[in-house]
Structure 1
Amino acid sequence: LFATQWKNVLPDFSTEKNEVFKREMLWNAHFIEASAKYSAYYKETIIPQGTVYSYYYGDNISNRDHLQAALPACYTNPPLAKSIIKYVIKHTEQDGEIKRGNNGFGYTAPSLFKESDEQLFFFNTLAEYLLITKDYAFLNEQVTYYPAEKGIKDDMLTIIKKHFIYLRDEIGLGENGLVKMLNSDWSDSFFHDYSPNRFSYDAESHLNSAMVLAIFPKLITVLQKANNSKTVTFIEALKNYHNKVEKSYLKDLGDRKFSARAYLSNKLKFGLDNVCLEPQGYLLQSNALSNVRKKEIYEYVKSKVLTPEKIGMRTREKALWGRNPDGEDGGIWFSLEYPVLLGVATFDKEEAWRLLQQFSFQNFTDNYPDYWVGQWTAADEVNSTLYREGLYAFWVPSQDRKRAFQGFCSHPHTWPLFCYYKLKE
């Protein structure tokens, strides 16, 4: 009976001829359902990022990760994907800021993080949800702001507009016309040796800016398809913002073979002579470049951060910070390499399928048969050949490493499943 219930819930991959995909996509779909958890405070169900964040520290962080985890559920379990989107909205202040996350009973602690990308990840998942499900009535539903106990509600479309206004006016654009970083984008710790108090309100993120190029066109598309008179001026505002960022980004890119990573100031620039993976995937997804130009960029990036590796793309050609080249400074991150795969799929699907195979648990097993973390689940990062290859960076104190299992992160399960469905379209 139990097996039958699971079979009724999980997608059917019986016709998949590739045995690795057939096995791993079913396992990943199972992971989505098995890891989902209900929040009594928000009255929504999410796919937590898991690993030590949820299962050791007890933190439901961050909302950008929950939004990425929702992507394959748009195909396999749309009500779950919708609940995750609403869960993130319920972390929204009335000015459009999206809180980083929570712990305990819906508690969001005061935080040093002033994140600049939560709205971008929200727009991406919302656009994919609407493209896949056609649930345009969702835009008219009422959702509660944070904190829930105040009971203040707005319709979805109004909240989405506030998210955009927060991105445009509060986060803003920097001197080079690129989206600002504030004190963190995807990288929670990019500043390292540089005080965010000094640089955060001038720093510009090429990752954030590339996300605008990749995400805004599909957000505009779904809003147009919604055929809602309340979206007309909003769509124009989105187009104007997108065009402005795109023009600045392409000017900055010039004829280089890869995007820069970030400018903390006009004298402190990163990623001009060192390939940093973060923005490359979203740049390749954008419609701003020809397929010939995309291929040129991909081949160069590939030669620096994938060709030297066995299982995936590392974040750096070489470390930026002069410390161990692991974690964000040289590790292999699922949440960064799969967007590259999606970018490659826009001009070379055969290569994208090859990448999906290379990023698989099976390929990890073939290369690192003695390391069981990585064969069936993983942390959010796996070390590259630059440092302790095949292992992972420790996010917990040394005395707890034997009992703090860093597996069951959502990203190595949810990203490949989403990309599998995208490649099937």
Structure 2
Amino acid sequence: MSAFGHWTTAEGLPAFSYRAGPRPWNPIIDPPTTRHVVHLGNRRITLVADSDGRTGVWDEHLGCRWLAERTGVGRFGELATDAAPVKLFGPTFCRTTVADAEVELRRTVLCPEGEVPWVLVGIEVTNRGDEVVRRALSEEWEVRPRLVDLEFGPARDTAVPDPPVVVLEECGGDRVATTAGVLRVEVALEVPPGATRTTWFRFGLDIVDQIDPSALHSASLTALRTRLPAADVARAPEAAIEIPWHTALLTGAACTDGVLGGHTLDQGSAYSFRHGFNGAARDPLQHALPLVHLEPDLALSVLRNTCAWGSPDGDLPYALDGRKQPWTQLFRPSDSNLWALWLAAEYAAATGDLEAFTRPAPYHPAHRTDPVPLREHLRRQFRFFTDVIGLGENGHVRILNADWNDLAVKESGVDRDLMVERGESVLNSAMAAWVLPLYAGLAADLDDEDTAQEARQLAADLRRRVAGEWNGRWFRRAHAPGGHPVGENDLWLEVQPWAILCGAATDEQARALLATIDETCRAGSPLGARHRWPGDGQVWFAVTMTLVWAASRYDQDLAWDEWRRMTLHAHTAAYPDIWSGTLSGPDCYLPPGSDRPGETWALPGNGVAMQAYPVANLHSHSQPLLAYLRLRGIDPSRTEVT
């Protein structure tokens, strides 16, 4: 049972009833706070619902930008919704309810379905007495636009963009607007005994059209109920709540991109909301993978958007900064292109939509170059992966200064410069050995047989080389120059599932490896397998997903048990007093043996910390979804359904 409340149902949808009082926690690099938030949204705007009953709005259309933080509140006379003892968090809406001796005041803030850049606010006043009640009803927000742009390291001498005009209106009534300051609209309201009166407001951008707010509210909830998937599986009953919930929070984090087109779907959490960047490039691609099977139009839009980050030679930058400019100063990973090829190929396999790859897609305006068909973006990325990233002296994919694991080079124990120059990633070889045959199928369907054949041949070679990394217990992780393997005496979990998935592991090896992982990385870890052993490695959603997927081919019981450890319910059971992991989470959790088990990482010496904003990371929503789909047999690399 969570210390913060309990799951319930509202509007026919999963919701969480928050009933906790102030509960302090430590963001590590910021002062201690009692604030707990949930991020909800549509395909254009993000509503940030606070545990104190207030609300804020985040907009990523032109950059990482707050429009308002911890501000929105409704009042009926002296009765205010930020004093509500009970809050309800739904998939795209939040609700606060407060009452005095005469009336009950209920305020619902909804992100309407679609690409609407504003929130709809409905305030219901119910007269519980025997006399007519007359008071002023008001809705109030403080507009404080704030760009969040690489809020660590040295300050940058760059211009701040002009603040947007933000509007608050009573639907069909008064309207006020500002670029900074308090917006307040007041309505004189008379409520007869036993009656309920509902007044509607809108807050946000581009409020110009007239709407029927009640009809929009009803239509949005109906559409939401229709598009969210249902889940019913006896061995994981929590899926009934979590699959639609994860889908809503994942899709609600998308935003139409006013610079590159398509939709962003970045990690969020501390990366965006605290530190001000969208990275790494692999992440939006990874987040979109389950949407291929749930909302394929959004998955395609994210693929086009992320390909547009790149340069005409096929290189994808590590990240975009808070102003949506390419950022390459920190990491240069060697796996980015593989994620684009994977998402594209899975989309084509699931939808059969080959025409999408013939349509032009842009490059970042920084490159001043013309759009090319999406298929050409992908071909150039394949060429960059093969010709520029390339292979090392052992025939594995070069690691550069990172692969999936941003700290792999540092943690390898090898001289950094030497590892960057000549090191190799068995992880990326194993992943490529799975991705490239899938991409080869797409290339062949697009009549590019030369690329298809080259991709198949490279995949086969990499598969053989990964197979040679079996040391009798697990697969090695990387190679340093001079014949020094990384992961000979310690198990790096992230490579193991890929070795199984790509076919490098024999059936006997796969079963033995899964048993070893169960006895070591999974032992005593309620949230999933640790990514390193011996030791007490962290638990990463991205790695747990591939473990569930690989295990599903050999041990369904282990696979389902690992999936259940990924769930919000598992975190609540293990750590009921920690808010992160209750409705949303970070990208990884600290393990039981750490000094803050169930919380997440912090590097205070570097001025960065996931713990500073440990919710609304899309790995915590996309990876349970993708793992669940794989468990249900949705796997583009297999012809049979298991």
CA, structure 1 residues 136+349, in 2 after alignment: closer, same or farther (shift >3 Å)?
A: farther
CA, structure 1 residues 52+182, in 2 after alignment: closer, same or farther (shift >3 Å)?
A: same
Matches within 5 A, 1:301-340: 301-319=517-535, 330-340=537-547
Q: Which residue of 2 aligns with 1:250?
A: 467
Q: Distance in 2 between matches of 1:25 and 1:141?
A: 32
1:208 to 428, 438, 444: 428
Question: How far did 1:201 drift?
Answer: 1.9
Q: Which residue of 1 aligns with 2:396?
A: 178
Matches within 5 A, 1:331-370: 331-370=538-577
Matches within 5 A, 1:192-203: 192=410, 194-203=414-423
CA, structure 1 residues 248+194, in 2 after alignment: closer, same or farther (shift >3 Å)?
A: closer
CA, structure 1 residues 315+16, in 2 after alignment: closer, same or farther (shift >3 Å)?
A: closer
Q: Which residue of 2 aligns with 1:382?
A: 589
2:440 to 220, 223, 240: 220
The answer on whether the counterparts of 2:392 and 2:422 sit within 8 Å (CA) in structure 1 is yes
Q: Distance in 2 between matches of 1:281 and 1:121?
A: 16
Q: Which residue of 2 aligns with 1:391?
A: 599
Q: Do residues 139 (structure 1) and 357 (structure 2) align?
A: yes
Q: What whole-Å deviation, never above 9, does each CA across 1:362-418 have from its counterpart, x for those lacking one?
A: 112111122221122111110012313212112567999899321111011111112
Q: What whole-Å deviation, never above 9, does each CA across 1:305-338 have from its counterpart, x for those lacking one?
A: 012312201111035xxxxx5xxxx110001111
The answer on whether the counterparts of 2:275 and 2:608 sit within 8 Å (CA) in structure 1 is no
Question: How far did 1:21 drift?
Answer: 0.4
Question: How far did 1:45 drift?
Answer: 0.9
Q: What whole-Å deviation, never above 9, does each CA across 1:42-101 have from its counterpart, x for those lacking one?
A: 112122201100111121111111111001111121111001100111012111111122
Q: Distance in 2 between matches of 1:174 and 1:151?
A: 32
SS in 1 for 2:621: helix
SS in 2 for 1:200: helix
The answer on whether the counterparts of 1:200 and 1:264 sit within 8 Å (CA) in structure 2 is no
Q: Distance in 1 between matches of 2:348 and 2:603?
A: 35
SS in 1 for 2:422: coil
SS in 2 for 1:305: coil
Q: Do residues 167 (structure 1) and 375 (structure 2) align?
A: no
The answer on whether the counterparts of 1:177 and 1:249 sit within 8 Å (CA) in structure 2 is no
User: Which TM-score applies when normalising by structure 1?
Assistant: 0.90
Q: Do residues 238 (structure 1) and 445 (structure 2) align?
A: no
Question: How far did 1:153 drift?
Answer: 1.7
Question: How far did 1:340 drift?
Answer: 1.1
The answer on whether the counterparts of 1:37 and 1:48 sit within 8 Å (CA) in structure 2 is no
User: Which TM-score applies when normalising by structure 2?
Assistant: 0.61
CA, structure 1 residues 393+248, in 2 after alignment: closer, same or farther (shift >3 Å)?
A: same
Q: Which amino acid aligns with 2:329?
A: S
User: Structure 2, unaligned stretches of length 5 or more?
Assistant: 1-217, 634-642
CA, structure 1 residues 157+339, in 2 after alignment: closer, same or farther (shift >3 Å)?
A: same
Q: Distance in 2 between matches of 1:104 and 1:273?
A: 41
Q: Which amino acid aligns with 2:221?
A: A
- Please state which structure has a larger fraction of its residues in helix: 1
Q: Which amino acid aligns with 1:211?
A: M
The answer on whether the counterparts of 1:40 and 1:105 sit within 8 Å (CA) in structure 2 is no
Structure of greater relative contact order (alpha carbons < 8 Å, 6+ residues apart): 1
Q: Distance in 1 between matches of 2:391 and 2:344?
A: 23
Question: How far did 1:157 drift?
Answer: 2.1
Q: Distance in 1 between matches of 2:517 and 2:524?
A: 11
Q: Do residues 102 (structure 1) and 320 (structure 2) align?
A: yes
Q: Which residue of 2 aligns with 1:322?
A: none
User: Structure 1, unaligned stretches of length 5 or more?
Assistant: 320-324
Q: Which amino acid aligns with 2:449?
A: V
Q: Distance in 1 between matches of 2:416 and 2:504?
A: 31
Q: Do residues 412 (structure 1) and 620 (structure 2) align?
A: yes
Q: Do residues 297 (structure 1) and 513 (structure 2) align?
A: yes
SS in 2 for 1:128: helix
Q: Which residue of 2 aligns with 1:279?
A: 495
Q: Distance in 1 between matches of 2:530 and 2:296?
A: 32
- Please state which structure has a larger fraction of its residues in strand: 2
Question: How far did 1:104 drift?
Answer: 3.3
Q: Distance in 2 between matches of 1:23 and 1:42?
A: 35
Q: Which structure has the greater CA radius of gyration?
A: 2
The answer on whether the counterparts of 2:309 and 2:316 sit within 8 Å (CA) in structure 1 is yes
CA, structure 1 residues 294+176, in 2 after alignment: closer, same or farther (shift >3 Å)?
A: same
The answer on whether the counterparts of 1:71 and 1:81 sit within 8 Å (CA) in structure 2 is yes
Q: Which amino acid aligns with 1:206?
A: V
The answer on whether the counterparts of 1:281 and 1:337 sit within 8 Å (CA) in structure 2 is no
Q: Distance in 1 between matches of 2:475 and 2:543?
A: 14
Q: Which residue of 1 aligns with 2:252?
A: 34
Root-mean-square deviation (CA), in Å? 2.3
Question: How far did 1:184 drift?
Answer: 0.9
Q: Which residue of 2 aligns with 1:6?
A: 224
Q: Which amino acid aligns with 1:237?
A: E
Q: What whole-Å deviation, never above 9, does each CA across 1:91-148 have from its counterpart, x for those lacking one?
A: 1211111112212332113414222010112222222212222212222121112336
